[in-house]
Amino acid sequence: MKIKVGFGFDVHQLKENHPFIIGGVNLEHHSGAYGHSDADVLLHAICDALLGAANLRDIGFHFKNTDPRWKGISSLILLQETVKLLHEKGYGIGNIDAMLCIEAPKINPHIPAMQQNIAEAAGISVEDISIKATTNEQMGFIGREEGVVAYAVCLIEKR
């Protein structure tokens, strides 16, 4: 059995009165992540980890931010498309471990819903998805609530 690991990273700026979607969950907050799609920083980092593990380049290669097909799209769809690409290369997902770095709002109450959304989109068990969150201790652009960062690692295995 061949196994591979992948690493993903994403960052989005926050804008006042903009929707804030993380892990497919719409969070109540005064500002939200801005981008071409729904700017779901967590799912973008996960997609990059999965694509990297399978040597399929990165999310920007497959879902260009200049392509109108992806404008405003749910990143859960991008994750589904990423999983299809993995399956075409004969890989399945072993597990995903992700970390959000965000000052506010609190993420912990939303983690079960995020795990469920990711599990459904990726076709894996909730037990195979770990999501954690931390603040930046009020330092830098994250601490000033100007942006949000996500990191993800994954394990994939040849079927």
Q: Is 89 annotated as a binding residue?
A: no
Looking at residue 72, its pLDDT comes to 87
Tokens at 13, concatenated: 């700026």
Tokens at 140, concatenated: 């830098």
CATH number of the structural domain spanning residue 21: 3.30.1330.50
Eight-class DSSP state of 94: E
Maximum Cα interatomic distance, the chain, rounded to a whole number of Å: 48
Tens digit of pLDDT at every position of the chain (159 positions): 899 999 999 999 999 999 999 999 999 999 999 999 999 999 999 999 999 999 999 999 999 989 888 898 999 999 999 999 999 999 999 999 999 999 999 999 999 999 999 999 999 999 999 999 999 999 999 999 999 999 999 999 998
Q: Is 67 annotated as a binding residue?
A: yes
Which structural domain, as residue segments, surrounds residue 18? 3-158
Q: Is 134 annotated as a binding residue?
A: yes
Q: Is 10 annotated as a binding residue?
A: yes
Looking at residue 9, its pLDDT comes to 98
Within 10 angstroms of residue 76's Cβ, the number of other Cβ atoms is: 19
Q: Is 60 annotated as a binding residue?
A: yes
Q: Is 82 annotated as a binding residue?
A: no
Residue with tokens 């954690």: 132
The domain tally of the chain equals 1
As a whole number of angstroms, the distance between CA 12 and CA 120 comes to: 24
Is this structure's pTM higher than 0.95? yes
Strands of 1-87 (E only): list them.
Answer: 3-16, 20-22, 25-27, 31-33
If 0-12 CB within 10 Å is exposed, 13-18 middle and 19+ buried, where does residue 28 land? exposed
Which three-class secondary structure state does DSSP give residue 24?
coil
If 0-12 CB within 10 Å is exposed, 13-18 middle and 19+ buried, where does residue 99 land? middle
Q: Is 66 annotated as a binding residue?
A: yes
The backbone torsions φ and ψ at residue 32, rounded to the nearest 5 degrees and listed phi first, read -150, 170
Q: Is 12 annotated as a binding residue?
A: yes
